[in-house]
Amino acid sequence: MSNATPLLEVKNLRSGYGRIPILQGLSLSVHPGERVGILGHNGMGKSTLLRTITSHLPTSDGKVSFEGKSITGASPTTIARSGIGYVPQGREIFPGLSVMDNLRVGCRLSKRPETDVLADILELFPRLKAYLDRRGGALSGGEQQLLALARCLCGDPRIVLLDEPTEGIQPSIIEEIADTLKAAAISRGLAILLVEQNLGFIAAVSERVLILQRGEITREVPPDAMHDIERLEAFAELA
Ligand SMILES: Nc1ncnc2c1ncn2[C@@H]1O[C@H](COP(=O)(O)OP(=O)(O)OP(=O)(O)O)[C@@H](O)[C@H]1O
């Protein structure tokens, strides 16, 4: 797989806020259908990385390529339309719109008929079926996270970038989110780039885990340590 063209390739990426550099020449790649987790504690640059890839924050140096073509400096809308889904921290669903209307907004990025997209999504997210007429803002935090993910997948992306989807969510629904993500990746050939601090969740979802420290990827967790939470904790220096 490593010889094939990566779906998403980030090379020597630098960005920051004003004069404060945060990403310090970060490189990584994600292959089609691959699930990659990035572990790092508060302030290491996880959100900054996803915001820079999606052009919500400008790149000061380096390159981002998608399907072999440079997308560095493209607008966030162009990037979303090209097949990169993004669920930011805090979810950002439309609280005043119904669950159905939230999903319909997501469908605008798909080239398929809305009815087909919605039917597929509700099969993947059966819990949302009971809530279609409810306001998004009336759902629990975990249900809102499921809705944000479902809305993103309505656009039929080839990769989804997820910023700490477990933040502030009850443990009972975290497992459901992990299972849904894996099912979506497998059934749709969807790639995932997940930034997280939740060790159990990242281990459950990812095939590879990278460690982000002070704006750089410093190492990759060996496969035999991925499901050993103590070793994972030590690798991320979260212990
Ligand atoms: N809008 C901003 N202006 C200035 N500095 C910022 C801004 N947003 C983030 N930072 C700083 O950039 C650094 C990286 O932040 P970032 O949000 O990417 O970290 P993170 O790894 O996602 O952490 P967290 O889990 O706390 O969100 C931090 O030191 C943070 O204080």
Could you tell me the CATH number of the domain that includes residue 41?
3.40.50.300
Ligand 1 atom with least separation from CA of 40: 21
d(CA 42, CA 35): 22
Ligand 1: residue whose CA is nearest its atom 24: 42
Residue 136's beta-bridge partner residues?
none
Ligand 1 test: best mutation among 14, 47, 89, 194, most atoms within 8 Å of CB?
Answer: 47
Dist. CA 48 → ligand 1 center (Å): 6
What's the structural domain count of the chain?
A: 1
Q: Residue 174's closest CA among 159, 194, 154?
A: 194
Residue 100 CB neighbour total at 10 angstroms: 15
What 8-state DSSP symbol labels residue 42?
T
Residue 220 lies in a domain: yes
Dist. CA 64 → ligand 1 center (Å): 20
Ligand 1: residue whose CA is nearest its atom 7: 17
Question: What residue type is assigned to position 22 of the chain?
Answer: I
pLDDT in 10s for each residue of the chain, 239 residues: 556 899 999 999 999 998 899 999 999 999 999 999 999 988 889 999 999 999 999 999 999 999 999 999 999 999 999 999 999 998 789 999 999 999 999 999 999 999 999 999 999 999 999 999 999 999 999 999 999 999 999 999 999 999 999 998 988 899 999 999 999 999 999 999 999 999 999 999 999 999 999 899 999 998 888 888 888 888 877 54
Ligand 1 neighbours (beta carbon < 6 A): 17, 20, 22, 40, 42-48
Domain span at residue 48 reads 8-235
Residue 1 lies in a domain: no
